[in-house]
Structure 1
Amino acid sequence: MTVNVTEGGGMLDVRGLRKVYEGKGRRVEAVRDLTFTLGAGELACLVGPSGCGKTTLLKCVAGLLAPTDGEVRLAGRRITAPPPGMAVVFQEYGRSLFPWMRVRENVELPLRRRKSLDRKRGGELVEDALAAVGLADAGGAYPWQLSGGMQQRVAIARAVAYGPEVLLMDEPFAAVDAQTRAELEDLVRGLWRERGMTILFVTHDIDEAVYLGERVLVLSASPTVVQEQVKIDLPAERDQLRTRVAPRFAELRTRVYEQIQLAKRGDGAL
């Protein structure tokens, strides 16, 4: 099932995005022509063959990397640098947390950029975010005292405390075990429903994409375009036991898998 995306008007608009790397006599077109829109409050997952440019795309969307052509807009505003209405959760949570800072200080860090935010309100946002990810009592600990899954919860709490309009997540659960991954997937869906954020979730795991998303964007092999956008018409209430064994889940997973295999071979959509 393919989603028809209307032109413009979304919370996050990516239009004709192209990225070419040049240097040392080499020229690599990583992203050729990416166009898609995320509506306000939508949770979309992005998958594709290995090396297809998912991280390059995310860096361009986040304003961390300038595109060669095209543009990205957040609520109608063109992104030319990291925008105030966006937060990013990276895969390597260990590198994104400062080990010499306590958990509470790590979560508070991006809030210091907000000059209009007083210390009391900042503290309230930090405590609220820690409670939201199940770490209400961990504020005084250091990251190295926590498990990998708990450290990633701290990274998510930091993003939540910032109160972003759009949350970008770059394969955030790739480095944790299967049980922790399932718990974090449910945490993300819970936060999304409670807080109404627009989320673009990049993953290499097809099952994760189908379980989490309301839509799955399948990228082609590099140089990258959007090959297909698959609507995930599963119930809004999902759980790890029943949802993953549902016939419709299997059908959607197969559809996404077929598209990725076609992308690897460089074929068109089915």
Structure 2
Amino acid sequence: MLDVRGLRKVYEGSGRRVEAVRDLTFTVGPGELVCLVGPSGCGKTTLLKCVAGLLAPTGGEVLLEGRRVDGPPPAMAFVFQEYGRSLFPWMRVGENVELPLRQKKDLDRARRRALVRDALESVGLSDAAGAYPWQLSGGMQQRVAIARALAYEPRVLLMDEPFAAVDAQTRADLEDLVRGLWRERGITILFVTHDIDEAVYLGERVIVLSASPTVVREQLTVDLPAGRDQLRTRVDPRFAALRTRVYEQIQAAKRGDVPEVPDALTKSSTPPPR
């Protein structure tokens, strides 16, 4: 579904040259939920913007279903970290969700409204269509942002640290929401996070990035049960082992250590069946 090949990004300007991403290569299969983690400042957001076609890479390429991404693809949606800046405060919730659908000329008004209702129901906000974003809590605003992406009916959903600005309880609820929507709708999800526990809890696979300039340091298949639970999954010894492995790799990346030969914790990059 998604193929990143030798991606490289260099920022130049004002007499400075910064190589943010050096050589990133990985794939994401159809219907897979993959989490990206790495040290702070390693270029995760830059990578995601290149994948989304919002930023032109310096080298390499991104392919979506075999086609090169040269701009925002119609089959892809993006959920940003700063939900407060991605929602228009003067528009009601339903209008915010409907806005990108107006770009789809083949959708009439009735179909757009149906998609909005379905998306808001999916995120538990059926009664909030007439409210303004500023009347909602932070967690509810991020649900609106997720609903807007779902209403667009994407085949690939990119999420850039979408729960970083909410409290711990809301974060847990949103994690379960994303996994539930992923299993129900079969969307391919590439989820960027700085939270190791979140990556292991959410993902079917975790890609660990090096420090900047960024390369893929390791890929781990998360062989936890598909039906995950915030209490039981997080005390599972396997969860602890995977979390420890990812943490060790990130700390090694900060030190600049050369990646080790994968041990028994590191599996094939092929996603397990759901």
1:39 aligns with 2:29: yes
Letter in 1 for 2:238: R
CA distance in 1, matches of 2:259, 2:31: 28
1:133 aligns with 2:134: no
Structure 1's consecutive aligned runs of 4 or more residues displaced over 3 angstroms after TM superposition are none
Letter in 1 for 2:129: G
* SS of corresponding position for 2:158: strand
Structure 2: state its 5+ residue gaps.
261-274
2:172 aligned residue (179, 182, 200): 182
Letter in 2 for 1:248: R
2:77 aligned residue (87, 110, 115): 87
* SS of corresponding position for 2:20: strand
2:113 aligned residue (120, 123, 143): 123
2:158 aligned residue (147, 168, 184): 168
CA distance in 2, matches of 1:137, 1:24: 50
* SS of corresponding position for 2:208: strand
Pairwise mapping of residues 154-165 of structure 1 onto structure 2 (< 5 A)? 154-165=144-155
Tell me the TM-score normalised to structure 2 length.
Answer: 0.94
Match of 1:246 in 2: 236
Q: For 1:165-189, what per-residue CA distance to the aligned partner results, in whole angstroms no more than 9, with x for missing partners?
A: 1000000000000000000000000
CA distance in 1, matches of 2:178, 2:258: 32
Structure 1: state its 5+ residue gaps.
1-10
1:103 aligned residue (65, 70, 93): 93
Match of 2:46 in 1: 56
CA distance in 2, matches of 1:23, 1:180: 40
Return the offset for 1:25: 1.3
1:218 aligned residue (208, 221, 226): 208
Count, aligned residues: 260
CA distance in 2, matches of 1:169, 1:41: 15
* SS of corresponding position for 1:137: helix
1:74 aligns with 2:64: yes
* SS of corresponding position for 2:150: helix
Sequence identity of aligned pairs in percent? Answer: 84
CA distance in 2, matches of 1:244, 1:269: 27
1:197 aligned residue (183, 187, 199): 187
Tell me the TM-score normalised to structure 1 length.
Answer: 0.96
CA distance in 2, matches of 1:239, 1:268: 35
Q: For 1:210-255, what per-residue CA distance to the aligned partner results, in whole angstroms no more than 9, with x for missing partners?
A: 0000000000001000000011000000010100000000000000
Match of 2:251 in 1: 261
Letter in 2 for 1:113: Q
CA distance in 1, matches of 2:117, 2:67: 31
**Mean CA deviation greater in 259-268 or 128-137:** 259-268
Letter in 2 for 1:15: R
CA distance in 2, matches of 1:224, 1:163: 31
CA distance in 1, matches of 2:91, 2:229: 35
1:146 aligns with 2:136: yes
CA distance in 1, matches of 2:86, 2:15: 33
RMSD of equivalent CA atoms = 0.5
CA distance in 2, matches of 1:214, 1:21: 32
* SS of corresponding position for 1:22: strand
Match of 2:55 in 1: 65
Return the offset for 1:26: 1.2
* SS of corresponding position for 1:222: coil
CA distance in 2, matches of 1:137, 1:17: 43
